Amino acid sequence: MNTTDVLVVGSGMGALTSAALLANKGLKVRIIEQNWQPGGCTSSYWRKGYVFETGATTLVGLGEGMPLQYVIDKTGIELPLRKLGLPMQVWLNGGIRVNRYEALEEWIAEAERVFGESGQRAFWTECFKVSQFVWQNSLRQLSFPPTRFIDVLASLKHFSFSQLAHLPYAFLSVEAVLKKHSLLENKPFVDFVNEQLLITAQNHMEQVNFLFGAAALCYTNYSNYYVDGGLLNLVLPLVKYVEDHGGQIVYREKVESVSRTASGYRVQTNKGAYETEYLISGIPVNNTQKLFSRGSIALKTKATMMSEQLNSAFQMGIGFVPHRHFDSIHHQIHLSEPLPETGSASIFVSLNHPQDTDRTDVSGERVMSVSTHLPNPQHRLIDNSVVEKAIIKVLIKHDFFKPENLKVYHSSGPKSWQKWTGRQWGFVGGYPQYLNIKPWQMLDCRIDGYKAYQVGDTVYPGQGIPGVTLSGIIAMEKLRLDWKV
């Protein structure tokens, strides 16, 4: 039977973060991936001469005090990154275009131009201040949420009065802070905030607490990046790092059950069995529970969300010939009427960087990924062709391409997501933020109270690549605290 120090289930960004950091500490790491390439929802795939993103398209988390920067600094991994000048444009109903500038003063001036001066400066100044606090403290409180005495001791070591002063924001919704600044009657702004929150917090302003909401709304005020060739090239350097440090990744192998042994775990796959001392689950906690229950292990947490609380996505991949210059590669388009079949109020569009020639076979052509939320995916049956036609109509209306320049397109829904990632019901984007779940009530990464740990967007919900990267760091830190690794 194959043995290893650490077995990692799945190869998303959270899983690969833990794998790389544990390999850095000298542990032998084996990664089991059910697909034919790594990355999960942070990856890319080739089809009909174009490279499309599988899910995530935006990249933040670099810079002082940010999670991805932490991984780079610890490992020395180099990533092929381009910094974006304008992180995003938002197209409001009525044809108004909003430039989401990185510099705070530039952004406040733009917000005042579009939404009126009343309340904007005060709201965004407070929002950015809180977002800075969140990121500055995310790497200081790596035993969060504290569920053991050792966590409390580690938390107290890094306690500050600033943390205490910001505690009330965990009890306030984004909606409450808008009300504080007399912005709830500003409907265009309320719509803008709600659709922006969906991108990173996976929910609307009445459910997102302001600690997470501030970070979600201000992520364009931090450096945004693009990876040439697609986000697969973000995860491949992490895989290589693990392999260079004595580890291994196995593809097209699916974990079927996990059971306890005297010193760790026995992991049964469709191709054999492994024994490991430590286990990292990079798949959603919904899926993890099934693996452990098949091995008759009682899990510490059963606080899983059901389909009606979750989102899947409808996504299109489009290849086209551009006829104009784009100021940004990321766009959110608000819809004048709900999208057929999905009921969505907006779509998100990501283009390849104009200087990236690695994502199309034909020189001069470009590629875009288009996505929108699809709530309660368990029983959703939609007519893809109806949604495709509606999205293409919107893109032509907003001059993203001319009808004759559309070269190829395809789409995917919950069933495709479930097949690609194995996620229950095909839900993506992770657990949404809910106001009744305070930061200290998030799922602890300790799965069974022993040597298994959970990472990904179900333990650190709704914050994209920075959030799942942070989940991998936290799991590594708790494993180190528990077992003095």
pLDDT tens digits for range 148-185: 999 999 989 988 989 989 999 999 999 999 999 999 99
The proportion of the chain whose per-residue pLDDT surpasses 90, expressed as a percent, equals 86
Which residues make Cβ contacts (< 8 Å) with residue 244, sequence separation at least 6? none
Phi-psi region of 426 (alpha: psi -120 to 50; beta: other; left: phi over 0): left
* pLDDT tens digits, one per residue of 371-409: 999 999 998 889 999 999 999 999 999 999 999 999 999
Instruction: Give strand pairing partners of 50.
Output: 47, 360
Least confident of 18-27, 145-154, 263-272, 393-402: 145-154
Rounded to whole angstroms, the Cα distance separating 128 from 437 reads 22
- Looking only at the bridges linking them, the beta strands covering 346-351 and 366-375 are antiparallel
Supply the pLDDT for residue 296.
Answer: 67
Please state, in angstroms and as integers, the Cα–Cα distance from residue 35 to each residue in 79, 102, 404, 419, following that order: 23, 36, 36, 9
pLDDT of 470 over the 70 cut: yes
pLDDT of 142 over the 70 cut: yes
Supply the pLDDT for residue 303.
Answer: 72
Supply the pLDDT for residue 209.
Answer: 94
- Looking only at the bridges linking them, the beta strands covering 272-281 and 452-454 are parallel
**Burial track 67-84 (b if 16+ CB lie within 10 A, e otherwise):** bbbbbbeebebebebeeb
What is the mean predicted confidence (pLDDT) over 420-440? Answer: 90
pLDDT of 249 over the 80 cut: yes
What is the mean predicted confidence (pLDDT) over 213-231? Answer: 96
Instruction: List phi, psi (to 5°) of 25.
Output: -90, 5
Q: Is 310 in contact with 432 (CB distance < 8 Å)? A: yes
pLDDT of 147 over the 70 cut: yes
pLDDT of 462 over the 90 cut: no
Supply the pLDDT for residue 437.
Answer: 87
Supply the pLDDT for residue 253.
Answer: 97
Fold held by 2-81+230-306+431-483: FAD/NAD(P)-binding domain (3.50.50)
What is the mean predicted confidence (pLDDT) over 199-215? Answer: 94
The angle at the Cα of 267, spanning 464 to 35, to the nearest 5 degrees, equals: 45
What is the mean predicted confidence (pLDDT) over 11-16? Answer: 97
Supply the pLDDT for residue 293.
Answer: 84
What is the mean predicted confidence (pLDDT) over 46-54? Answer: 95
Supply the pLDDT for residue 294.
Answer: 79
Residue 76 pLDDT grade (very low, low, confident, very high; cuts 50, 70, 90): very high
* pLDDT tens digits, one per residue of 294-309: 766 666 666 789 999 9
Closest CA to 459 of 303, 251, 235, 327: 303
Supply the pLDDT for residue 302.
Answer: 60
Supply the pLDDT for residue 380.
Answer: 83
What is the mean predicted confidence (pLDDT) over 351-366? Answer: 96
Which residues make Cβ contacts (< 8 Å) with residue 323, sequence separation at least 6? 401, 402, 405
Closest CA to 411 of 312, 313, 316: 316
Rounded to whole angstroms, the Cα distance separating 128 from 134 reads 10
* pLDDT tens digits, one per residue of 181-197: 999 999 999 999 999 99
Supply the pLDDT for residue 61.
Answer: 86
Average pLDDT, the chain: 94
- Report the run of H or E that residue 411 belongs to, with start and end: strand 406-412
**Burial track 124-156 (b if 16+ CB lie within 10 A, e otherwise):** bebbbebbbbbbebbbebbbbbbbeeebeebbe
Rounded to whole angstroms, the Cα distance separating 260 from 255 reads 15
Please state, in angstroms and as integers, the Cα–Cα distance from residue 414 to each residue in 116, 393, 422, following that order: 39, 23, 11
Residue 315: what residue type?
Answer: Q
Supply the pLDDT for residue 37.
Answer: 96
Supply the pLDDT for residue 295.
Answer: 65
Supply the pLDDT for residue 304.
Answer: 87
Supply the pLDDT for residue 441.
Answer: 83
What is the mean predicted confidence (pLDDT) over 266-286? Answer: 96
- Report the run of H or E that residue 392 belongs to, with start and end: helix 384-397
